[in-house]
Amino acid sequence: MADVRIDGVGKKYAGRAVLSDLSLTLNDGECFTLLGPSGCGKTVLMRLIAGFETPDCGVISIGGEPVADAASGQMLPPDKRGLGMVFQDYAVWPHMSVFDNVAYPLKLAGTDAVALRERTLRAVGLVGLSGLEARLPSQLSGGQQQRVALARALVSEPRLLLLDEPLNNLDANLREEMRFEIKALQQKLGITILYVTHDQEIALGISDRLAVMDENGVLRQIGAPEEVYERPVDDFVFRFLGIANFLPVRRDGDSLYIGGSMAAWVGPPPDKPGATLTAGFRPSDVLLARDEGGSDGLPGIIRRASFLGAQVDYLIDIAGTLVRAALPSHECLARNLLFVEGDRCRVELASVQWFEGNIVAGDRA
């Protein structure tokens, strides 16, 4: 069992609290992602789990066994926690060959020569580096070095694998490829993975569950990727998971209006009470039509049109609020929806998240 329990953990640096009273549970065999902006404390939490840092308060348990307990001062050293870890810069030792890098944990564990060789070659093969065992890291590409780090983390068959933004230094194609490979490996080996990243695309693609952490180290929402994406608990989570549009909506009796204007809201009704609300939606939720004098949808004016190849990006003025829309290019061509600046259009929304109050999203355009 490699479930991880974090109970009321806190950590301060130079008097500043990076984590406060944080609690979290990772289930055995799941791939769990900690998603948050840079500097929010997610790597600190990972280092606390790994044992490189000591918590100021709280308890961390792995597989039911406490590995760090601030109250009793109990701290299990990193190598006794049964972990593997892949670092952001891979930390592949440059003076050792691929084989020696991967075999290092087994050598220290006193594994006999035959088993060491067999397990090392198996780990190297698992990450697709067979035949490159004798090479030095300087003779490998970034992606291959990343695989060496992964093999080294896996060779001692850890119960928990910690991945600290290991795909950041790879180019977009390789990043995507490795993302799938890590997921496939996790499913094949059945180990628990804690993945730390600020990249929402990786988080959504790789995780069984994910937690969104804000810049103050507070966990805003924990859930399955589709749940967090489709039903964000607040605007922070909504913004963090992709480009966000916000339209202020005013309730006046039974009628709904956009912002301070007299333009009526046309679209999914709010599921929240209150006189002031905000409708949140993604650019892909926007359905566009030409304004031919009808009353379907919200009236808008195209302020900017950008053809981006696979899709067309529009900036639309709806009653004084700017929102972005992304339409597939082929749909625009087929339905005569290639607008130019100044064109009038009608906007319908396929899906809307409602938030209480008036959320100003000044940077969304």
Partner 1 sequence: MLFSVLALYLLAFLALPVGAMVLRGVTNTEGRFSTDHLTLLLANPVYLESLGNSLVVACGAALLAALAALPIAMLLWRHHVRPSIYIELCGFLPLFVPPFVLALSLQNLLGRGGALGWLLGGDLDPAILGLPSVMLVEALHYFPLVLMTLVMTTSASSQQACEAARLGSSWWRLMTRIFLPLGMPGLAFGMSITFLKAMDDLATPLSLGVTNLLAPQAFFRVSAYGSQDPLSSLIATLMVVISALAWLASIRLVRQHVSWRSGAFAAAAPSRRQTIVGLSCLGGIVMLYATLYAGVALTSIARIWSYTLLPESFTLSHYLTALGDERGSFINTLIYCGFAAVVDVLVGLLMAYAIDRAAPRWKTGLTWAAAGLLSVPGVALAIAYLQFFRVVELPFFNQTIDASWFMLPMAFSVRGLPFAIRACTIALQRLPKSYVDAASLSGGSRLRVATKIVLPMLAFGLFVAFLLCFGVAAVDLSSAMLLVPSETDAPVAYSIYLNMQSTTGRGAGSALAVLSIALVTLSLFVLLALLRPKSKAASSFRKFVFTAS
Site string for partner 1, 105-124 (x = CB under 8 A): x--xx---------------
Q: How far apart are CA 206 and CA 199, in angstroms?
A: 11
- Assess 188 for contact with partner 1 (CB under 8 A): no
User: What secondary structure letter does DSSP report for 220?
Assistant: E
Query: Measured from the CB of residue 197, what is the shortest distance to partner 1 in angstroms?
Result: 16
Query: Measured from the CB of residue 89, what is the shortest distance to partner 1 in angstroms?
Result: 6
- Assess 284 for contact with partner 1 (CB under 8 A): no
- Assess 157 for contact with partner 1 (CB under 8 A): no
Task: Report the length, in residues, of the chain.
Answer: 365
Query: Measured from the CB of residue 202, what is the shortest distance to partner 1 in angstroms?
Result: 19
Query: Measured from the CB of residue 15, what is the shortest distance to partner 1 in angstroms?
Result: 12
Q: Are 312 and 335 in contact (CB under 8 A)?
A: no
Six-digit token string for 94: 């440059």
Q: How far apart are CA 176 and CA 206, in angstroms?
A: 10
- Assess 300 for contact with partner 1 (CB under 8 A): no
Residues 194-223 that bind partner 1 (CB under 8 A): none
Q: How far apart are CA 205 and CA 167, in angstroms?
A: 13
DSSP string, 42-54: HHHHHHHHHTSS-
Site string for partner 1, 8-47 (x = CB under 8 A): ------x---------------------------------
- Assess 87 for contact with partner 1 (CB under 8 A): yes
Query: Measured from the CB of residue 46, what is the shortest distance to partner 1 in angstroms?
Result: 11
Size of the residue set binding partner 1 (CB under 8 A): 25
Q: Are 318 and 348 in contact (CB under 8 A)?
A: no
User: What secondary structure letter does DSSP report for 224?
Assistant: -
- Assess 182 for contact with partner 1 (CB under 8 A): no
Nearer to partner 1, 110 or 342 (CB): 110
Among 21, 65, 89, 227, binds partner 1 (CB under 8 A): 89
286-290 vs 276-281, strand pairing mode: unpaired
Among 61, 75, 76, 104, binds partner 1 (CB under 8 A): 104
**Residues in a beta bridge with 177:** none
Residue 358 amino acid letter: N
DSSP string, 213-257: E-TTS-EEEEE-HHHHHHS-SSHHHHHHTS--EEEEEEEETTEEE
CA neighbours within 13 Å on the CB side: how many for 140? 27
Nearer to partner 1, 4 or 247 (CB): 4
C-alpha distances in Å from residue 114, one per residue of 131, 249, 282: 18, 70, 56
- Assess 268 for contact with partner 1 (CB under 8 A): no
**Residues in a beta bridge with 182:** none
219-223 vs 16-26, strand pairing mode: unpaired
- Assess 324 for contact with partner 1 (CB under 8 A): no
Nearer to partner 1, 89 or 118 (CB): 89
Nearer to partner 1, 155 or 206 (CB): 155
Q: Are 342 and 287 in contact (CB under 8 A)?
A: no
Among 91, 185, 256, 266, binds partner 1 (CB under 8 A): 91
Interface residues toward partner 1, by CB under 8 A:
14, 50, 52, 77-80, 83-85, 87-89, 91, 93-95, 104-105, 108-109, 138, 149, 152, 156
